C-alpha cells in the first residue's frame, strides 16, 4: 500500500508541474516570451543553445545532392547543441498547407499560400518591419500589422534565360528590349540556327504560371500595381498600345506559338531535360526567374553560354526588373520557447552566414550583400520589388485569385496553358481569352465587393 | 447486487457476461469494433465532413462562410464541371473495349492453351505497376519520335503521317484511355478466368455431344455462369471511368482538353482553394455514381432475366 501511495503522490506532482509548464508556454507564445527578435539576436552569444528542431522545405533537389546536409553540418560547427531534422517535400505548395492546418508540423518551414490575417495564428513574428527592413531586403512580403512573419531564403530577379551562343549564331548582337524586338529575334533564331527559339515547358505546368511574375513592375514600371492596384483595375488586360502591359506580356507567348517559334510537341516537354538543352544551345530562350540560372549552368558542359537578360519590355524608355523574395522562412507559433529560440538562430544563420542565396544565384537578401555576376546585364535597369498591399486589403489578391480562378502568381498555370493551346489550334484569339479573363475578374470584384478605382 | 439482472432467475450483469449468451455478444463486439472503427474514422466521418464542407465557402485554412446550396448551383451551372463529365464517355468507350478484350482472352486462356500461364502473367503484369509510374512511362511512350512512333515506324508508318498523340485534341483523350485499358484489362481477365474455371467440365462435354459449337458454349454455358463477376466488372469499370484521374493528371496535368471531372475537382480544391465547391463536386459525383450503378443493376436484371 505504501508503494502505491508514493507512486500516486509522485504522479500528482508530475501532473501539477506539467500543467504549470503548459500554462507558462501558452502565456508566453502570445508575445514571443523570452525569445529575442531577429535584430536583437546576437548569434555569437548563443553557441551553447541546445534543442532539436524540425525544418520542412521544398528543395528536394538540394536535399538529394547533399547541399542541405552540408549547410547544416556547417551550422553545427558553430551551434553543436542544435540538432536540425529536415524533410524535403516534393509537392510543397499543397502538402505544406495541409500540414499547416494540423498545427504539428515542426518548427521551421517555408510559408505556403495563407491569408495574411492568419499569419499571427500560425507563425512567430521575427521583428517589426521597421527594424528588419534596415538589415534585410524583401522582408515586406509577409508583413501584417507592422510585424514580419517571413524572411526569404533567397531573392529572385525576373528576367529571361537565353543561350549566348545561339544569339550570336543568329546574328543578334543587342539584347531585345521590347516584345516586338524579342519576337523578331526569335524568328531570327528559327531562320539561322537549329535551336528551339522559345521553349515553353508547357507540360510541367508551373513553368507556364511563371509568366505571371512579370505583371506589374515589368509590364508598367509600377511597384504598387501587383499588390495594390491590380485588384481594383477594371480592365487590366487591355492593350495600352505601346508594347507594354499585361496584354503584350502574354502576346509574346501567343505570337511565338502561332508563328511556330516553340518546341514541336509542347504536350510532352520535359523539365529535367530542358536544362541540358538550354546549356548545349538546343534552346534559345526560356522565360523563368533567376533561380533557374544556376540549374541551367550545372546541367551541361557549356555553362559559359547560359545568359540572363532583363525581360524585353520598355516602359517610358526604361527597362524595369522585378526582384523579390522566394519562399520565406517562418517559425511555428506553437513551438516551445527553446525551439523558437533555436529556430531563430538557425534562420538567422541560414540567411546571413550560409551563402545559400549566393550559391543559388539569388539576388542578395542581406542589405549590401554580394550579388552573383549573372546580373551584369541588369546594369541600367531599375531593380525594384513589389510593395505590400494596403492595410486592410491584405487578403484581396488571394481572394480575387481564388474567386476568379485566374490565380496570378498563385499556381494559375492552366490559364497560361490555355494561351498556348489557343494559339496552336486557333480555337480562340488572344482577345477572346482576355475578354474572358476580364469578365471573370470583374465578376470576382463584384462578388467580393472590391471597389473598381482604375 | 441484483439490479443488473437479466432473465427470469435474476442473473447479475457479471454472470450474464460469463454465460454463453454474454460471451457470444462480447466476442462479436470485440471482433467487429476494430473494422467498424476503421470504417467510421477513415470513411464515414471524412465523408460527413465533405458533405458539411459543401455548404460552406471556405479555404483549407481561414474563416468559413455558410452559403447553403450555392456551391451545388455552381457545380451545375459551370461548363468546366459538367463538361468534364463528357470526357468520361471516352473512358466508358475504353471500358467496353477493355471488358470485351478481357472476356475474349479469358475464354481462350481458360481452355488448354500452350504457354497459357505465361500469357496470363504477362497480361496481368501492368496492373501491378503503380499508376503514377504508368503515367510517366506513357508520357515518354507518346512523346514525338519516342517509343510509340518508333514502333509504328518499324511497321512502315512515316513519322510525318502520324498524329501528335497528346497534342492533337481529336486523339489525345483516346491516347489516355489507351493507357487505362492497358493497365486494367489484365485484372479483368484474371477475374473472368477465375469465374470460368469454376464451370464444371462436364457441362462442355455434354454440350459438345449435343452439337454445340464454341460460340454456343460461350453464350449458353460460360456467360450465364460468370454473370455476377461480369456485372461486377462492368459496374467497377463504369464508375471507374466516371472518376478517371491518374492518366490525365500524370501525363497531361489535365491540360489541352484532357481534364476529367476528378482533375478539375483537384484543381478547384488545391489550386483555387475553393474547398466548398470541390466538396460539392465530390458529393454530386457520388450521387451520379449511385444512380448509374442502380441503373446498371436494373439493366442487367432485365438482360439476364431468362438465365436464372
For chain B, the structural domain boundaries read 13-53, 71-307
Q: What residues contact residue B120 under an 8 Å CB cut-off, 6+ apart?
A: B109, B189, B190, B193
For residue A211, what pLDDT band results from cuts at 50, 70 and 90? Answer: very high
**CB contacts, 8 Å: B163 with chain A:** none
| Least Cα separation, residue B254 to chain A (angstroms) | 9
Contact A421 B252 (CB under 8 A): no
Mean per-residue pLDDT for B22-45?
Answer: 92
Provide the mean pLDDT of chain B: 87
Residue A85 has pLDDT above 70, yes or no: yes
Task: Pick the residue of B251, B255, B257 with the most A CBs within 10 A to test the interface with A by mutation.
Answer: B255
pLDDT at A314: 93
Residue matched to cell numbers 539576436: A41
pLDDT at A28: 35
pLDDT at A22: 43
Secondary-structure percent of chain A, ordered helix, strand, coil, rounded to 5? 50, 15, 35
A36-48: pLDDT as tens digits: 899 888 888 888 8
Choose among A202, A264, A268: nearest Cβ to B142.
A268
A300-340: pLDDT as tens digits: 899 999 999 999 999 988 999 988 888 999 999 988 999 99
For residue A30, what pLDDT band results from cuts at 50, 70 and 90? Answer: very low
Residue A29 has pLDDT above 70, yes or no: no
DSSP B49-69: HHHHHTTEE--SSS--EE-TT
Choose among A264, A267, A413: nearest Cβ to B166.
A267
DSSP A162-186: EEHHHHHHTT--S---SHHHHHHHH
B126-160: pLDDT as tens digits: 999 988 899 888 988 998 888 898 999 899 888 88
Structural contact between residues A328 and A152, judged by C-beta atoms closer than 8 angstroms? yes
For residue A21, what pLDDT band results from cuts at 50, 70 and 90? Answer: very low
Residue B278 has pLDDT above 90, yes or no: yes
**CB contacts, 8 Å: B137 with chain A:** none
A355-371: pLDDT as tens digits: 898 888 888 888 878 88
Cα–Cα distance for residue pair A78/A93, rounded to 1 Å: 32
Structural contact between residues A423 and A261, judged by C-beta atoms closer than 8 angstroms? no
**CB contacts, 8 Å: B254 with chain A:** 414
First to last CA, chain B: 59
Residue A66 has pLDDT above 70, yes or no: yes
**CB contacts, 8 Å: A264 with chain B:** 144
pLDDT at A20: 44
pLDDT at A3: 56
Which one is predicted more confidently, B56 or A14? B56
The grid coordinates of residue A127 equal 521583428
pLDDT at A324: 84
| Least Cα separation, residue A433 to chain B (angstroms) | 15
3 state SS for B123-146: HHHHHHCCHHHHHHHHHHHHCCCC
ipTM, 2 decimals? 0.74
Instruction: Report the residue count for chain A.
Output: 454
Residue matched to cell numbers 482553394: B273
B5-29: pLDDT as tens digits: 455 567 788 888 888 888 998 899 9
Residue A31 has pLDDT above 70, yes or no: no
Q: Report the SS3 class of residue A83.
A: strand
pLDDT at B306: 64
The grid coordinates of residue B308 equal 436464372
Cα–Cα distance for residue pair A114/B59, rounded to 1 Å: 9
Instruction: Report the residue count for chain B.
Output: 308
pLDDT at B159: 84
Mean per-residue pLDDT for A53-60?
Answer: 91
Residue A16 has pLDDT above 60, yes or no: no
Q: How much of chain B exceeds pLDDT 90, in percent?
A: 31
- Out of 1.10.3720.10, 3.30.1330.10, 3.90.650.10, 3.90.79.10, select the CATH number for domain B71-307: 1.10.3720.10
B195-250: pLDDT as tens digits: 988 888 888 888 888 888 888 888 888 888 888 888 888 888 888 888 889 889 98
Choose among B61, B253, B254: nearest Cβ to A114.
B61
A271-282: pLDDT as tens digits: 888 999 999 999
Q: What residues contact residue A333 under an 8 Å CB cut-off, 6+ apart?
A: A29, A120, A121, A122, A123, A124
For residue A25, what pLDDT band results from cuts at 50, 70 and 90? Answer: very low
Comparing C-alpha atoms, which of A150, A169, A215, A210 is closest to residue A347?
Answer: A150
Contact A405 B167 (CB under 8 A): no
The grid coordinates of residue B34 equal 476494430
Query: How many beta-carbon pairs under 8 angstroms link A with B?
Result: 75
From A64-73, A389-398, B98-107, the region with the lowest mean pLDDT: A389-398
Amino acid at each position: 500500500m505504501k508503494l502505491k501511495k508514493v507512486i500516486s503522490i509522485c504522479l500528482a506532482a508530475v501532473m501539477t508541474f506539467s500543467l504549470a509548464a503548459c500554462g507558462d508556454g501558452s502565456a508566453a507564445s502570445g508575445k514571443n516570451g523570452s525569445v529575442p527578435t531577429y535584430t536583437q539576436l546576437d548569434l555569437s552569444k548563443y553557441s551553447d543553445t541546445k534543442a532539436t528542431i524540425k525544418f520542412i522545405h521544398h528543395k528536394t533537389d538540394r536535399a538529394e545532392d547533399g547541399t542541405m546536409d552540408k549547410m547544416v553540418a556547417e551550422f553545427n560547427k558553430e551551434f553543436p547543441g542544435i540538432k536540425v531534422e529536415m524533410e524535403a517535400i516534393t509537392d510543397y505548395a499543397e502538402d505544406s498547407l495541409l500540414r499547416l492546418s494540423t498545427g504539428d508540423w515542426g518548427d521551421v518551414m517555408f510559408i505556403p499560400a495563407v491569408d495574411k490575417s492568419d499569419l499571427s495564428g500560425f507563425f512567430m513574428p521575427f521583428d517589426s518591419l521597421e527594424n528588419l527592413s534596415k538589415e534585410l531586403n524583401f522582408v515586406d512580403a509577409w508583413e501584417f500589422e507592422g510585424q514580419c512573419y517571413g524572411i526569404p531564403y533567397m531573392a529572385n530577379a525576373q528576367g529571361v534565360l537565353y543561350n549566348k551562343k545561339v544569339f550570336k549564331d543568329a546574328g543578334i548582337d543587342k539584347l531585345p528590349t521590347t516584345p516586338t524586338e524579342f519576337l523578331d529575334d526569335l524568328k531570327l533564331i528559327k531562320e539561322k540556327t537549329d535551336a528551339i527559339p522559345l521553349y515553353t515547358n508547357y507540360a510541367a505546368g508551373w513553368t507556364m504560371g511563371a509568366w505571371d511574375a512579370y505583371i506589374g513592375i515589368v509590364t508598367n514600371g509600377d511597384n504598387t500595381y501587383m499588390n495594390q492596384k491590380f485588384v481594383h483595375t477594371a480592365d487590366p488586360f487591355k492593350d495600352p498600345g505601346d508594347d507594354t502591359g499585361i496584354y503584350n506580356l502574354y502576346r509574346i507567348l501567343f505570337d511565338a506559338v502561332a508563328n511556330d517559334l516553340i518546341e514541336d510537341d509542347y504536350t510532352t516537354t520535359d523539365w529535367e531535360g530542358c536544362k541540358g538543352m538550354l546549356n548545349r544551345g538546343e534552346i534559345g530562350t526560356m522565360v523563368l526567374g533567376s533561380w533557374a540560372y544556376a540549374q541551367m549552368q550545372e546541367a551541361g558542359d557549356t555553362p559559359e553560354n547560359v545568359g540572363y537578360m532583363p525581360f524585353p519590355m520598355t516602359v517610358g524608355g526604361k527597362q524595369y526588373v522585378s526582384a523579390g523574395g522566394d519562399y520565406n522562412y517562418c517559425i511555428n507559433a506553437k513551438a516551445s520557447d527553446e525551439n523558437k529560440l533555436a529556430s531563430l538562430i538557425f534562420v538567422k544563420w541560414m540567411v546571413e552566414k550560409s551563402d545559400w542565396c549566393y550559391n543559388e544565384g539569388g539576388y542578395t537578401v542581406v542589405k549590401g550583400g554580394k550579388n552573383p555576376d549573372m546580373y551584369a546585364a541588369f546594369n541600367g535597369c531599375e531593380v525594384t520589388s513589389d510593395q505590400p498591399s494596403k492595410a486592410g486589403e491584405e487578403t484581396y489578391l488571394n481572394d480575387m485569385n481564388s474567386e476568379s480562378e485566374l490565380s496570378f502568381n498563385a499556381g494559375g498555370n492552366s490559364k497560361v496553358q490555355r494561351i498556348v493551346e489557343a494559339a496552336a489550334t486557333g480555337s480562340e484569339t488572344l482577345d477572346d481569352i482576355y475578354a474572358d479573363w476580364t469578365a471573370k475578374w470583374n465578376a470576382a470584384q463584384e462578388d467580393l465587393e472590391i471597389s473598381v478605382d482604375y | 447486487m441484483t439490479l443488473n439482472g437479466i432473465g427470469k432467475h435474476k442473473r447479475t450483469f457479471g454472470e450474464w457476461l460469463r454465460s454463453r449468451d454474454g460471451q457470444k455478444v462480447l466476442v462479436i463486439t470485440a471482433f467487429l469494433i476494430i473494422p467498424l472503427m476503421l470504417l467510421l474514422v477513415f470513411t464515414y466521418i471524412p465523408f460527413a465532413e465533405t458533405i458539411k464542407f459543401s455548404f460552406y465557402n471556405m479555404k483549407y485554412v481561414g474563416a468559413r462562410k455558410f452559403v447553403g446550396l450555392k456551391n451545388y448551383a455552381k457545380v451545375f451551372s459551370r461548363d468546366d464541371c459538367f463538361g468534364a463529365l463528357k470526357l468520361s464517355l471516352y473512358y466508358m468507350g475504353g471500358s467496353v473495349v477493355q471488358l470485351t478484350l478481357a472476356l475474349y482472352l479469358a475464354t481462350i486462356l481458360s481452355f488448354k492453351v500452350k504457354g497459357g500461364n505465361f500469357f496470363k502473367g504477362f497480361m496481368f503484369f501492368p496492373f501491378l505497376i503503380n499508376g503514377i509510374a504508368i503515367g510517366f512511362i506513357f508520357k515518354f511512350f507518346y512523346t514525338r519520335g519516342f517509343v510509340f512512333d518508333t514502333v509504328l515506324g518499324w511497321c512502315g508508318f512515316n513519322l510525318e503521317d502520324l498524329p501528335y498523340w497528346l497534342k492533337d485534341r481529336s486523339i489525345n483523350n483516346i491516347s489516355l484511355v489507351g493507357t487505362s485499358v492497358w493497365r486494367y484489362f489484365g485484372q479483368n481477365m484474371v477475374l473472368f478466368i477465375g469465374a470460368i474455371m469454376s464451370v464444371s467440365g462436364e457441362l462442355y462435354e455434354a454440350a459438345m455431344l449435343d452439337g454445340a459449337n464454341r460460340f454456343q458454349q460461350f453464350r449458353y454455358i460460360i456467360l450465364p455462369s460468370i454473370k455476377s463477376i461480369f456485372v461486377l466488372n462492368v459496374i467497377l469499370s463504369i464508375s471507374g471511368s466516371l472518376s478517371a484521374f491518374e492518366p490525365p493528371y500524370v501525363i497531361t496535368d489535365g491540360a489541352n482538353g484532357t481534364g476529367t471531372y476528378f482533375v478539375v475537382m483537384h484543381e478547384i480544391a488545391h489550386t483555387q482553394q475553393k474547398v466548398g465547391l470541390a466538396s460539392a463536386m465530390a458529393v454530386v459525383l457520388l450521387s451520379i455514381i449511385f444512380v448509374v450503378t442502380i441503373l446498371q443493376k436494373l439493366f442487367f436484371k432485365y438482360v439476364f432475366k431468362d438465365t436464372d
